[in-house]
A and B are shown apart, each in its own frame.
Chain A
Amino acid sequence: MELRHQVIVIGGGPAGLNAAKYAANAGCNVALLDSAPRLGGQYWRHTGIESDDQSRHHNFDQGSLLMDAIIANPRITIYPNTTIWSASVINGEVVLRYKDGAFITSRLILATGAYDRSLPFPGWDIPGVMTAGAAQSLLKGSGVIAGKRIVVAGSGPFLLPVAAGLSSHGGKVVGLIEAAGKFAWLPEILSLLQNPAKISEGLGYLLTLRKAKVEMRFKQAVISAHADSDGLLESITVANIDAEFHITSTYSINCDVAAIGWGFTPDTSMAGALGLKEEVAADGSVVVAVDENQRASSAHSELHIFAAGEITGIGGSALSLAEGAIAGLAAADSRTNLRDLKKIRRKARRFALTLQRVYPIALGWKSWLTPETIICRCEEVTHAAIQSAFTELDADDARSAKLMTRCGMGMCQGRICSRNVADLLDSPDADRIKGVYRPIISPITLGELAQDGLL
């Protein structure tokens, strides 16, 4: 089945929702695609019980309003449960293949978001160690508290809502371990104060944590995890670390869940498949390069492809909403409110960069590894295997490391490990960008591929 739409938006999180809304309000016929059954993305994840949504989310009312407006908009067709497995340009149009056919458009807005960033350390593959995002999804999506004694760790403002959410729903959070210093925000105070809404959101979480007596520890990190005789998480080793993330001393904590978040990695796999220009952002992540109007750079200049939200640089929901709105307007060739929106975007972007300076992730994490530490979990490739590919087998970039060790070749296709491998290899920017290309964006069964009519 071939489905044509004037504008196609991929991703139903804040950026994609706003992009669809603005493009539709400017008169376009819009398709909004998302792989999940409900709109909202990771940020506004539904619990399945409407009354619960409010309590587990910040800003859910804002999200509800936006989602309701989109569902009610006759110019927007929503395609839930729709996973695009490949994207390419044929005869001057973008062809997006899903399991039953293809979407075709000449105006595409990518808002594919981000996933949790993990740093490897000895024991990070023990059941009970999970990403902060996974612990939050369990809570938001199914109302499940991940464990009995939970440590939340890593770095960045996202740890606050995770720890606050878990403890306010009855979870015992035995520690919140933040790699940055307690007063790391102080040098950025002027910039931070320009976003009072965000500051008050943060203070709200801190209040919740104080009420629940959650102890916050700074300049520390989880550097190894230990399993009990059943193979489940029993304890973690926590280190005091310096600004470079090097270990100065250690102690241990007993816990059955360690929810660890080191920020986010943009999901640029679709942008990569379409050959859009990518660049390395200030925080080291690979992002889609966009112009003033969120337009991406493609070898096919006749195409209008835009990118909005986390894939253009990690920045949070406010920045995503602004970028989505601008992309939606630009895709519809409208300029209504464009200047105001750009002002909002500038401010949100500045705030995002400030947070990146407050919560930097230093490369000293590499010193936490042992030769046996797994770097690629899908293929169980160790640190030593990657090192020997370089020292003995002439590997010299992420690609050759992958071909010789299989790191990044498994189910997740390098989504979890490729950034870390690039850091381990001190890869230059060009290698980091090149490493992302994959023609198959997400798995499809051979039976689905074999059908007629997929182009």
Chain B
Amino acid sequence: MNSNPDAIIIGAGIVGATTALSLTNAGMKVLVIDRGNVATGTTSAGEGNILVSDKAPGPELDLALRSRDAWFEIQEDIGGGFELEAKGGLVVARSEDGLRSLRTLTAAQRIAGIDAQDISITELRALEPHLSHSITDGAFYPQDAQCQPMLAAAHILRATKARGGKFVSGANVTAITTNDGAVTGVVTSQGTFNAPVIVNATGTWAGQIAQLAGSALPIAPRRGFILVSAPTRKIIFHKVYDAEYVANVSSGDADLQSSAVVEGTQSGTILIGASRERVGFQDGIDFEILRILARQAIALFPILADIQLLRAYRGFRPYAPDHLPVIGEDPIFKGFWHNAGHEGAGIGLAPASAQLICDGIFDRPSFMNPTPFAPARFAKAAAS
């Protein structure tokens, strides 16, 4: 009798966990492995954003829209426990230019199916009474949501295990075995595991895993810092950010970009993200960046000046050169699937990305055309 799994998923972050659940629900026997434990990489270093507001029309927005609903389906499926909340997003403009580009964006987003509401100053104040008086315009996105990402990954993995999946932590992958152009298994510090399907869900480290098989993925870290306040009374009710943030997310510049994203959480803390810079896996805390984030947050909400900062942490977003996630089969090795490179949107995009992978593995049509995310696009770019 063959006790091998049908699929091995490398990486127990949010992308690996949702992939494991999708494949399990589709009838496969999965094994999830991680060099650390559940949610020890980028999943534990974010705010838990499930956003549609920060995306311009295009394939990533289609993915985000489907994924946003898929999050609520997962909650239904496994029973929640991860603080999923449709708290709504508020994007504000602080200049004439900012307002013009925001109105252009919301118009395009509405055509793409997003509920993007241009709102008046009165509505703005009703939604966020403590907003700076220098802000006069904004847009409201009721679909924007949030979850607690570590709990989400842990609960999804728990449900996967309850449905027959297996998880091995502390398993560092040292080799990926192939035979005749197809993957056959992984060699890890916890033993060798064989399966005809291997999913690379290692986020920022996905390039290194691809290399082990003899393939390649151009995924690099893009560092970000987040500030966390002491618990406080509820003063911020939505996810609030500057319209400039949308431009920063899609910037290809390696230098520091920063625009504050401010929100209150269920635990009473206020989170302030997010800086973006490509400095490799640089450790430590850059206090200048913390200062910039604090300034930008106060510019949005002057009341924050008196709120205490309790913690700061950093993470590394998995960054692909064209800002699109990498979802699909490896161009060289059959059975080797990549689901990585979601940059700062991995929590939001994970469930729909998992669905694409699942439909790809079963070779059936999916909710959208996955070609824009195909790993093969980099090989083509290099060739041309």
Where the two chains meet, the residues of A that have a C-beta atom closer than 8 Å to any C-beta of B are: 86, 88, 97, 379, 389, 392-397, 399-400, 403-404, 406, 409-411, 413, 438-440, 443-447, 449-451, 454-455
Contact between chains at A450 and B298 (CB < 8 Å): yes
* In-complex Cβ contact of A403 among B150, B290, B294 (8 A): B150
Q: Which residues of A contact B155 (CB under 8 A)?
A: 393
Q: How far is the CA of A450 from the CA of B290 in the complex (A)?
A: 8
What B residues does A379 contact at CB under 8 A?
267
> Which of A392, A446, A454 makes the CB contact (< 8 A) with B309?
A446
Chain B 73-125 interface residues, beta-carbon cutoff 8 Å to A: none
Interface centre among B155, B229, B290, by most A CB within 10 Å?
Answer: B290
Taking the nearest CB of chain B, how far is it from the CB of A440, in angstroms?
5
CB-CB under 8 A from B39, the residues of chain A are 400, 403
Inter-chain contacts of A397 with B (CB < 8 A): 37
- 21 A-B residue pairs with Cβ-Cβ distance under 8 Å, sorted by A, are A86-B285, A88-B285, A88-B287, A393-B157, A394-B167, A395-B154, A399-B40, A400-B38, A404-B151, A409-B267, A410-B231, A438-B311, A440-B309, A443-B310, A444-B309, A445-B308, A446-B298, A446-B307, A450-B295, A451-B291, A454-B291
Q: Which residues of B contact A403 (CB under 8 A)?
A: 39, 44, 150
A406 with B40: CB separation less than 8 A: no
* Chain A residues in 8 Å Cβ range of B313: 439
Contact A86 B308 (CB under 8 A): no
Q: Report yes or no: B231 in contact with A446, Cβ–Cβ below 8 A.
A: no
Residue ID in chain A nearest B285 by CB atoms? A439
Complex Cα spacing A399 to B308, Å: 23
Number of interface residues of B (CB under 8 A): 40
B287 A455 Cβ-Cβ under 8 A? yes
Interfacial chain B residues near A455, Cβ < 8 Å: 287-288
Q: How far is the CB of B6 from chain A (nearest CB, A)?
A: 21
Q: Complex Cα distance A397/B38, Å?
A: 11
* Interface flag for B187 (CB, 8 Å): no
Tell me how far the C-beta of A408 lies from the nearest C-beta in chain B, rounded to whole angstroms.
11
Task: Knowing A86-B287, A454-B291 are in contact, say whether A443-B40 is a contact too (CB < 8 A).
Answer: no
Binding site for A on B (CB under 8 A): 12, 37-40, 44, 150-151, 154-155, 157-158, 167, 169, 227, 229-231, 267, 272, 284-285, 287-288, 290-291, 294-295, 297-298, 304-313
**Chain A residues, Cβ within 8 Å of B158:** 392-394
Residues of B within 8 A of A449 (CB): 290-291, 294, 309
The answer to whether B307 and A396 have CB atoms under 8 Å apart is no
Contacts of A446 in B (CB 8 A): 227, 229, 272, 294, 297-298, 304-309
Determine if B40 and A400 form an interchain contact, defined as CB atoms under 8 angstroms apart. Answer: yes
Contacts known (A393-B38, A403-B150); A447 close to B311, Cβ less than 8 A: no
Q: Which residues of A are found within 8 Å of B38, using beta-carbon distances?
A: 393-394, 400
Pair A440/B310 contact, Cβ less than 8 Å: yes
Task: Given the known inter-chain contacts A400-B37, A406-B267, A447-B305, please indicate yes or no for A440 contacting B312, CB distance below 8 A.
Answer: yes
Closest B residue, CB atoms, query A399: B40
**A91 CB, min distance to chain B CBs, angstroms:** 13
Q: How many Cβ-Cβ contacts under 8 Å join chain A to chain B?
A: 100
Q: Given the complex of chains A and B, what is the CA–CA distance between A138 and B363 in angstroms?
A: 72
Q: Which residues of A contact B169 (CB under 8 A)?
A: 394, 396
Let me know if A440 and B311 touch, CB within 8 A.
yes
Centre residue among A396, A406, A439 by max chain B CB count within 10 A: A439
Residue on B with the closest CB to A400?
A: B37
A278 nearest CB across to chain B (Å): 17
How far is B150's CA from A397's CA once the two chains are assembled, in angstroms?
14
A443, B306: Cα distance in complex, Å = 11
Q: Give chain A nearest CB distance to B348 CB in angstroms.
A: 19
Whether B298 lies near A447 (C-beta < 8 A) is yes
Report A-chain residues with C-beta under 8 Å of the C-beta of B294. 446-447, 449-450
Name the residue of chain B whose CB is nearest to the CB of A452. B291
Query: Residues of A contacting B40 with CB < 8 Å?
Result: 399-400
Query: CB < 8 Å: which of A404, A443, A445, A454 contacts B150?
Result: A404
CB distance from A83 to the nearest CB of B (A): 12
- Chain A residues with CB under 8 Å of B311's CB are 409, 413, 438-440
In the assembled complex, the CB of A388 is this many whole angstroms from the nearest CB of chain B, namely 10
Cα distance, A214 to B39, chains bound together (Å):
53
By a CB distance below 8 angstroms, the chain B residues around A444 are 308-309
A50 to B137, alpha carbons, bound, how many Å? 60
Q: Are A445 and B154 in contact (CB under 8 A)?
A: no
On whether A443 and B309 interact (CB within 8 A), knowing A395-B154, A400-B38, A403-B39, the answer reads yes
What's the nearest-Cβ distance from chain B to residue A188, in Å?
42
Q: A447: which of B37, B306, B310 is its contact (CB, 8 Å)?
A: B306
B291 near A450: Cβ-Cβ < 8 Å: yes
User: Which B residues are CB-close (under 8 A) to A404?
Assistant: 150-151, 154
Chain B contacts of A454 at CB under 8 A? 287, 291
Q: In the bound complex, what is the Cα–Cα distance between A383 and B273 (angstroms)?
A: 32
CA distance A88 to B288 in the complex (A): 13
Tell me how far the C-beta of B33 lies from the nearest C-beta in chain A, rounded to whole angstroms.
12
Contacts of A438 in B (CB 8 A): 311
Give the complex CA separation of A4 and B307 in angstroms. 29
Contacts of B151 in A (CB 8 A): 393, 404
Q: A451 vs B291: C-alpha distance in the bound complex, in angstroms? A: 7
CA distance A411 to B310 in the complex (A): 7
Closest 9 CB pairs of A and B: A447-B305, A393-B154, A443-B308, A450-B294, A449-B294, A439-B285, A403-B150, A450-B295, A446-B294
Chain A minimum-CB-distance residue to B167: A394
Instruction: A397-B37, A445-B306, A455-B287 given; name 18 further pairs at CB < 8 Å.
Output: A392-B158, A393-B157, A394-B158, A394-B169, A400-B38, A400-B150, A403-B150, A404-B150, A411-B310, A443-B308, A443-B309, A446-B294, A446-B306, A446-B308, A447-B305, A447-B306, A449-B290, A454-B291
